[in-house]
Structure 1
Amino acid sequence: MEGEEIEQYTSSKSRYNNNRHGSDGYARPPPAHSIYGEIDAEVLGYFKNVEETLDNPAFETAEELRSFVDAVYEEVEGNELVLVTDPSCAIIVEKLLRISDGFQLRVFGDRISGRSVELFSHQWGSHVCQTLLTLSADAITKEVNDPDTDMKDDDSQKEGEQQELRSMQQLVLDMCQDIKPELGALISQQYASHPIRVLLCLLAGKRVDEEGADRGRFRSKKSGKYRQAHNSNGLGKRSGKDNAPPKVPQSFTIMLRELISDLATKSSDTEMRVFAVSKVASPVLQLLLEMEQSFNDKEGEKIIAALLDRILWDVATGKDTDASVVAQRTSWFETMIRDQGGSRLLQVILKVAPASVHNKLYEKHLKGKLAKYSQHPLANFVVQTLVSTARSQEQFTDMCQELQSSFGPLLKNNKHGVIRSVVEASAKLNTQQTQVIKWLREAFGIESDEDQKLFVLCLMRMTRIENVRDLSDKEKSDTRAFHLQGSLIMQDIMKMNEGHNKHIVTSFLSQKPDTTLPWCFSPQASRAFEAMLASEYVGGKVKKKIIKNLQGHYVQIAKDKFGSHILDRIWAVAEINVKEQIVAELLKRERELAEHPMGKCVLWTVRIELYKRRHDEWVEREKGLEKKKELFKDILGDGFAAGGKPNKKRKH
């Protein structure tokens, strides 16, 4: 969509925002100060003292902490709405919520109930609501496990109040009822979008991790920096065992379906398309579509189809008989794929859409344009997702035919993600592997046998052969020049059969041991190194040679946070005589390793104490593990690591 049509959609978006955010007063960003009046000076002073106590807690028992929180809630009763919408007090309320138990969270939630729309769309109140919803997951899980938990008595509450206090489940459902009529306006509102995302995750039974990899989905960068500056992140941190998805009642699933259905059916086509390219609303639509897998019945499929139709101009159920509709849909797709929010939404659609919709998007809107889109700064991510989600070998082959001549330009223009997606899909679908390796070699300019020896260095640096030929040995061993995408591509190549990964493996073995040793200490290169050792398609003789080149350096490797993982992998594939050599080398500097955090773990892995005291038993144990791994190889694959336990995944 270009020219006048883009202007038309831009003006539609402006009119929509003016209409929905102006007259009702709900979705318009409020002023920074509280919308419920000024805070009494005495209450403000008390609350500042509360913050000092929260920042420097001196509670000796859990009962003391609980009594303190109860006292604070009692003192500020009636001022909750003023506090949560005040810039200086809202962050203190969040800190207080993070040390509150389930009953106290319910008390607070009950006091601000009925004001969800105003608070969601308030600059400070939205953060408090978001924190309350995030913390409510554990309370809801307890209520599901023990339905009578909300009736248990509490010494700090009056008997009459206990019977009236709603459960956390009911508070959340009531909150949903509050926002349902204004959901379309709220998802496009700057401050309301984030708490709505948390609410949707809670309804779907998904744990919200505001500090993990998905923190950008639930907290803006500005919000994260503000919370960190005001010492809010450290309070109420959860242990690993609390990261399991929360249990939710059936009523939550029903409510989630109602919200999606209302949004899909009651929003106009123009509104939905404005949402699709909105930086604020598009992430909410992405989240809703990712929850599509929860709706595996016919009614749920109809809801999702209606949502996709509104976003993509009847792409799910519409027919291609009307030429004007086809032209409008094509123009709209062109707009979406070049838009930041729209392109991300298309990525999610390609991942979750049924095969019929996925194939239609490819055939009608992407086929024949992959080379062009792969060079676009935003559209190339859609191409990556399309290739990664190819539904058949035949479909992937068609995509490869379009992209084969693009490997060189993609490498030149740093669009490495498209290349990686092709390699990954080729390994996963077990097709086009010979051609993919050929296209890689051509992109790097590798022609002669001498150039072939440098293939692995070109790949890890994601650069052409002319930039590698004249490097000194010292420069070749510099892993700081290695590229993350190069490492990922090499890991994918190791999932191809021996006839295809041999080009990389032989190139690796052509390097001097001093050149490849630094790989063990690099975050990118170490993962590629591990992939060679772990691959079932790399022969045993090759692995022996790789391991032999590390002899004399095992202590250094064991003390490195990346190298220690490589040593674990070596231990999982090495034969008994090689293990003897490794342990003998480690034993010479046992005390040094025992005082090192990584070295200590390696000593435990190789069972150093058993080796020293009962050597014969150690030998029998390791031989038994080898037999066991061989016996269960077909079942456990290469995940069967030292000690008979699967290797834990680690992040780059």
Structure 2
Amino acid sequence: MPKELRKRGKKKKAQQAEQPEHVPQQPQKVEPSWIVQPKEETTQNDTEAPFGYVDVDVKAYFRTVDIQIRAWQDAARDLEDDGQSDPNEERRMFFVAALKEMAGKEKQLSTDPDCSIILERMLYSMDDFVRRVFVDSLAGSYDVLVKHRFASHVCQTLFTVAGQTIAREQRGILPVIATSEDSGELRTMTELIVDVCEELFAVSTVLVMDAFGSHVMRALLLLLSPTLAAKQEAGRGDVRSKKSAKWKARQGPLKSVFEEASNEDSIAYSQPAAFKSSVQRFLHAVRQGLDPNETRALAANKVASPTLQILLAVESEQQMTEEEDSLMDRVLVGLVSSSRNKANSDFPVSDYITTLLRDPTSSHLLETIVTECPANAFSNLWAIYFRGALPKIASHPVANFVLAKAFERVDVAQLVGIFTELKNVWEKMIQTSRTGVLRAVIDRAAALKSCGPEVTEAVWASIRATTADGKKLLVPCMLRLQTVQDYEKLGQQEGDQKRKRESDDDARQPKVQGAVLLQSLLRMPEPFNDLVIQSLQNFSMEEVLALAKHPISSRVLDALLDSSTVPTKAKRQFVQSLIGHYHTLVDDRIGSRVGDRCWAFSDTYLKEKIARSLISQESFLAASYYGKFFARNLNLYLLQRRPDEWRTAQANRTKFASATEVKQDANHTRSELPLTKKRKRDANRAKDEIDELFAGALGKKVKRTALEGLQETDTSTLLDSGLADVMGAIKAAPSEGKKQRKGRS
């Protein structure tokens, strides 16, 4: 066999055979692998479990805790309690036992791969006192925990829910603490968070670039800046990556299992003075730890770039952007300081910013820059890097997002120049489905209440509508992102079955980008939103119903009814056009939601017209899976017998209650409605005597879960004895029962 084809084991034996015989070999004592561990393995274990491993029995116990909390979070709340017992008492006792088992093991549980997610789930159900104890128990180790693979997510969740506790502390809602001589003073959550920041100031530059610590630092910065946190929740949040958010979604709902905490998830609070000082110290620490070149290098780093975005937003909120050597000035290569010192000078073009504009990672950073930079710096940034190159930027697959974000800050003069530069690019945007720039320019024109004719011209140019008949096809063409010629050609091929293909079927379906464009057009001032209104009025009833039953195109009708710039006359005309077809409209999952919006918009007179048109369809609505929910609002029984009371009841309904009832998410389905909370019976209603007899014989209602632990023989015995008691009670009071039944008839 050739030497190059020999195995590694053979070669090793040959080398051992070539050793000289006169070299004495010392006998080596071979220890079992479970006694002696290699140094590499020991180091790895210290990294994975810096505070030690969790005991097997403790881990098994917390698995049962996780299963129970999941069951409580997934189960529907039963509101048919008798009002005497606390429905949360059992859960509180369960949590007390779990917290006692967790005491002293918080660090080990946080670094455990299985128990860390259980701690995250428990944090949402902890009260303020327990959360403060948990934060205090981790004190002194945050510099290690925030860089740990699993403990970092526990810290992130802890900083997320800590805002609720801080908000209650500012309102003076503090838990009652039983003091003793042995226990020390427990600080408030605000003081504890400030101490956590003191631990992390020294490693702030490391956390910016750490794969596990960067998202913790983002969560902490948002906790220190509540105004910025509200903006992040309203827009696109950068706290979690897509991979992390997807993994967290698979863990089921993370929320409190107690009923009293269900409405306290989004409590706003003002920034304490200590938080303002801490966030400024974070900014100074990052500035001192990184030089300008290292700061600019963070833009293309997938880990550090989102954290740098938060730092720039915090710097702008603290009004520290125009300071000397600020982070914003570093990223813009001195443009902020130059704009402050030389307002009318020409600035050189930086290739670094041009690279940011077209890079998939750093373009998000540039979006934050154009949003948060000072006004004079934005004017120079627009003049240097955007003006004159708008057609290329608008057609770029990455840079067009930055351009759309920059449109939110342009003034009227700059907006007019935009329409001039992009007049030959609108059609290409529609054909390539990159409509973000067109939508942004329409929204900016609506906000400034100007450039209405320019918007109209851009819309007609985007679909190549040159004739009056072509302009009537605005809604179907814009929904499908097609020109008028392509839409008409597609309509001519519908009759030919041989030419139908899957691509043609996709071309006929409404697109999300087109629906968003139409909604933006409906928010334009009154003379200019007639483009969409007139196009909708040319639809046949079959086309309107098809539009209302589609999950994408139905949003256009929602904007028609909700937009404050659409005339009331056009809204009433649309609602009246559906009279005679409401039973068909609401017999659909999406169409029923549009029907609810039409009902919420209508006044009492229009509601009566809609209800009387559906009297003949009462049986149809009752048999419809979705229409029966719409029929509940009609109350046709009261309308037919006491119309005056029906009108009074409809007039007394507040607009706030109606809007809350119909404003649901697009993904919310009617199939979920039977699982909602049941109404409580009126406690003031007089109980009849026969109900009291049954209640006295059987006692309180027994839940089904209480019978699951009984054997079959025990259950039958219990039911038989209950029936015997009921029959005996009825025989004992025959006259009362007859009198009550007579009254019911």
Instruction: Provide TM-score, normalisation by structure 1.
Output: 0.80
Report 1:251-400 matches (<5 A). Answer: 251-264=274-287, 266-291=289-314, 294-295=317-318, 300=320, 302=322, 306-318=326-338, 326-327=347-348, 330-390=350-410, 392-400=411-419
The Cα of 1:453 is off from its aligned counterpart by: 2.8
Separation in 2 of the partners of 1:385 and 1:527? 23
> 1:160 pairs with 171, 182, 196, which one?
182
Q: Residue 551 in 1 paired to residue 584 in 2?
A: no
Query: What is the CA distance between 1:326 and its match in structure 2?
Result: 4.5
Aligned partner letter, 1:379: A
Deviations 1:18-43 (A, max 9, x none): xxxxxxxxxxx987962426426xx2
Match status 1:80 vs 2:106:
yes
Q: Structure 2 residue aligned with 1:583, among 611, 635, 638?
A: 611
Q: Which residue does 2:243 correspond to in 1?
A: 222
CA shift at 1:312, angstroms? Answer: 1.0
1:445 to 2:489 alignment:
no
Distance 1:288 1:523, change over 3 A: farther
User: Of the two, which has the highest radius of gyration?
Assistant: 2
**Aligned partners of 1:243 and 1:372: how far apart in 2?**
42
Instruction: Check 1:357–1:513 CA distance in 2 against 1; reply closer, same or farther (3 A cut).
Output: same
The residue identity in structure 1 corresponding to 2:443 is E
**What SS is found at the alignment partner of 1:587?**
coil
CA contact (8 A) 1:81 1:112 kept: yes
| Secondary structure of 1:511's aligned partner | coil
Provide the residue aligned with 2:217 in structure 1: 196
Q: Where in structure 2 are the equivalents of 1:30-45 lying within 5 Å?
A: 34-36=48-50, 38-39=52-53, 43-45=55-57
Cα deviation code 1:51-76 (max 9, x no counterpart) = 11331359997555455545545445
Give distance in 2, aligned partners of 1:624 and 1:72.
49
Q: Relative to 1, partners in 2 of residues 1:446 and 1:647: Cα closer, same or farther, differing over 3 Å?
A: farther
Give 1:123-142 correspondences, 5 Å limit: 123-142=149-168
1:10 corresponds to: none
Do structure 1's residue 110 and structure 2's residue 125 form an aligned pair?
Answer: no
1:459 to 478, 481, 503: 478
Aligned residue pairs, count: 597
Q: Is the 8 A contact 1:289 1:304 kept in 2?
A: no
Q: Would you say the 8 A contact 1:454–1:507 is kept in 2?
A: yes
Match of 1:48 in 2: 60
Contact 1:134 1:208 in 2 (8 A): no
**Alignment-derived partner of residue 530 in structure 1:** 558
Q: Do the aligned residues in 2 keep the contact of 1:491 with 1:531 (CA within 8 Å)?
A: yes
Say whether the 8 Å CA contact 1:261–1:303 is kept in structure 2.
Answer: no
C-alpha displacement at 1:530, in angstroms?
Answer: 2.9
| Map of 1:515 onto structure 2 | 543
Task: Give CA deviations for 1:386-417 in whole Å, capped at 9, x if unaligned.
Answer: 12322x21121112211221112222222111
Matched, 1:428 2:447: yes
Q: 1:245 to 1:513 in 2, by over 3 A?
A: same
- For 2:647 and 2:103, the matched residues in 1 are separated by 70
For the residue of structure 1 that corresponds to 2:254, the secondary structure is coil
* Aligned-partner SS, 2:336: coil
The 2-side partners of 1:111 and 1:643 are apart by 45
String of CA shifts for 1:442-485, please: whole Å, max 9, x gaps. Answer: 22122233323322211111112232114459899999711122
Rounded Cα–Cα distance in structure 2 between residues aligned with 1:436 and 1:568? 32
Unaligned regions of 5+ residues in structure 2, if any?
A: 1-42, 73-85, 496-503, 667-745
The answer to whether the Cα contact below 8 Å between 1:264 and 1:310 also exists between their aligned partners in 2 is no
1:496 is aligned to 524
1:446 is paired with a residue of what secondary structure?
Answer: coil
Render the CA deviation track for 1:286-322: whole Å, top value 9, x for unaligned: 2344446753xxx646459823112211222225879
**Structure 1 CA distance for aligned equivalents of residues 144 and 544 of structure 2:** 60
C-alpha distance in structure 1 between counterparts of 2:46 and 2:419, whole Å? 53
CA distance in 1, matches of 2:566, 2:165: 50
Identify the residue that residue 22 of structure 1 maps to in structure 2: none
Larger deviation, residues 81-90 vs 214-223:
214-223
2:209 matched to 1:183? no
Q: Report if aligned partners of 2:360, 2:398 keep a CA contact under 8 Å in 1.
A: yes
1:501 is displaced (CA, Å) by 3.0
Single out whichever of 555-564 and 503-512 deviates more from structure 2. 555-564
Give the aligned residue type for 2:182. Answer: G
Distance 1:548 1:63 in 2: 53
Q: Which residue of 2 aligns with 1:19?
A: none
Letter in 2 for 1:408: E
TM-score (norm 2): 0.70
